[in-house]
Amino acid sequence: MIRVEHLKKYFPVTQGFLRKKVLWLKAVDDVSFEIQDGETFGLVGESGSGKSTTGRTILRLYEPTGGKVYFNNIEITALSKEELKRIRPKMQIIYQDPYSSLNPRLTIFDIIAEPLREYGHENIEDRVLELLEAVGLSEEHAKKYPDELSGGQCQRVAIARALALDPEFLVLDEPTSALDVSVQAQVLNLLDSLQKEMGLTYLFISHDLGVVRYLADKVGVMYLGNLVEMGTLDQVFDNPMHPYTRMLLSSIPIPDPKARSLKKGVVIGEIPSPLNPPKGCKFHPRCPFYKPGVCDAKEPEMIEVERGHLVKCHFAGEL
């Protein structure tokens, strides 16, 4: 359904009074992956990894600097503004902060009705009620304003709005990060059942690997604008090959005191500024297996170490 080829998104960084461009911030740097019909692709990474930018660039909310994105074999990156508008209903996005993704001055009804009106749908009232029901809300919520609802309810409204135009593909950008765990579970279950009922395809962006394990089928791990490892859920979580993936996995607090990680000091250093990333493999200054002359000299290729399991490391499969 979605094919991303060598996607790049650079932001100019300007300085001083004359707004001179001094640097490029390479938020997404040569990222390629595919998402199959009805599948959930989890994109994980820490802040500055470029995972959110990737999601927005795929939807052309940001114009890509380079590379191609295909949606059902249509090259989205080559569409004109009018053509893009025709395809927009098929691809929607859900945001992290449920409050700021809803216009505070509109009622829930108007929020969900907006896309329906834009595309000239009929029976808007019935459709809005149907959508509210689909996300577990009821008619009484329709007259309210966002600040009269809880965070979880607002996120349901955002989901209803995204579903209004019968999309096929949803970008979920940290959809539960701002919610409490009990509410998070409700929203995750909702997303899961909607996917099954409507045959949706998800790009699920998250920093929380527990949540990704719950919802995703395949996983991509990003670090400083690069995809460093990609594979099925089990391949990446149970047999991580990239040193960064391993570091990330051993950093996650596990909700089980018996599994208290004995290994200390597995995390080395901090994420460098994406403005000035390290040469060669961007992870080399933090890597416990760093080999001078190799890792800091050449950027590694993405290597397929087993079927469907790709790793961007000079020593993939050897560590």
Partner 1 sequence: MRKEEMLKILFRNKLSILGLSIIIALVLIAILAPILAPYPEQALGEPNLKERLQPPSWKHPFGTDHLGRDVLSRVIYGTRTSLVIGFSVVALALLIGVPLGLIAGYFGGKMDLAVMRITDIFLAFPPLLLALLIATTLGRGMVNAILALAISWWPWYTRLARGMAISVKERPYVEAAKAMGIADWKIMLRHILPNSISPVIVQATMDMGSAILEAAALSFLGLGVQPPTPDWGLMVSEGKDYFLNYWWYPVFPGLAIFITVIAFNLLGDAVREVIDPRLRRRFL
Partner 2 sequence: MKELLQIKDLYVNFRTLWGIAKVLNGVNLTIHKGEVFGLVGETGCGKSVTALSILRLLPSNAEVSGKILFKGENLLEKSEEEMRKIRGKEISIIFQDPMTSLNPLFKIKDQMIDVIMLHEGLEKERAIEHAKKLLKAVGLPADRVLNSYPHELSGGMRQRVMIAMALSSNPSLLIADEPTTALDVTIQKQILELILDLKNQYNFSVLLITHDLGVVAEVCDRVGVMYAGNIVEIAETEELFENPLHPYTRGLLSVVPDPRQKKPLKPLRGSVPSLINPPSGCRFHPRCDHMRDICKKAKPELIEYSPGHFVACYLYGGDLDD
Examine residue 78 and tell whether it contacts partner 2 (CB under 8 A): no
Nearest in space to 8 (alpha carbons), one of 72, 74, 77? 77
Residue nearer to partner 1 on the CB measure, 45 or 98 = 98
User: Considering CB distances under 5 to 8 angstroms, the limit depending on partner class, which of partner 1, partner 2, none binds residue 256?
Assistant: partner 2
Closest CA to 91 of 138, 44, 55: 55
Q: Nearer Cβ to partner 1, position 164 or 194? A: 164
Q: Kindly state whether residue 59 participates in binding partner 1, applying the rule CB under 8 A.
A: yes
Min separation Cβ 181 and partner 2, Å: 5
| Beta strands 20-35; 40-44: pairing state | unpaired
d(CA 117, CA 149): 24
Q: Are strands 40-44 and 218-223 parallel, antiparallel or unpaired?
A: parallel
Q: Write out the binding residues for partner 2, residues 165-194 only, by CB under 8 A.
A: 180-186, 188-189
The only residue of 52, 92, 153, 176 in contact with partner 1, by rule CB under 8 A: 92
Map the footprint of partner 1 across residues 109-148, applying CB under 8 A: 114-115, 118-119, 145, 147-148
DSSP 54-94: HHHHHTTSS--SEEEEEETTEEGGG--HHHHHHHGGGEEEE
Q: Does position 47 bind partner 2 by CB under 8 A? A: yes
Chain centroid, CA 118 distance in Å: 27
Burial class (CB in 10 A: 0-12, 13-18, 19+), 143: exposed
- DSSP track, 206-256: ES-HHHHHHH-SEEEEEETTEEEEEEEHHHHHHS--SHHHHHHHHHSPPS-
Nearer to partner 1, 145 or 289 (CB): 145
Smallest distance from the beta carbon of 2 to partner 2, in angstroms? Answer: 23
Query: Does the footprint of partner 2 cover residue 267 (CB under 8 A)?
Result: yes
Candidates 24-32, 90-98, 263-271, 300-308: pick the segment binding partner 1 (CB under 8 A): 90-98
First CA to last CA across the chain, in angstroms? Answer: 34
Q: What's the rounded Cα separation, in Å, for the pair 318 and 258?
A: 30
Which lies closer to partner 2 via its Cβ, residue 114 or residue 208? 208
Pick the closer one to partner 1 by CB: 162 or 183: 162
| Shortest distance in whole angstroms from residue 200 CB to partner 2 | 19
For 79-200, strand residue ranges (E) read 91-94, 169-173
Q: According to CB under 8 A, which one of 6, 20, 75, 85 is a site residue for partner 1?
A: 85
**In the complex, minimum distance from the CB of residue 34 to partner 1, in angstroms, rounded to a whole number:** 22
Contacting partner 2 (CB under 8 A), which of 214, 226, 284, 287? 214
State how far the Cα of 19 lies from the Cα of 200, in Å rounded to an integer.
43
Please report, as ranges, the residues that interact with partner 1 according to CB under 8 A.
56, 59, 61, 84-85, 88-89, 91-93, 95-97, 100-106, 114-115, 118-119, 145, 147-148, 158, 161-162, 165
Please report, as ranges, the residues that interact with partner 2 according to CB under 8 A.
46-47, 150, 152-153, 180-186, 188-189, 207-214, 233, 237, 247-261, 264-267, 270-271
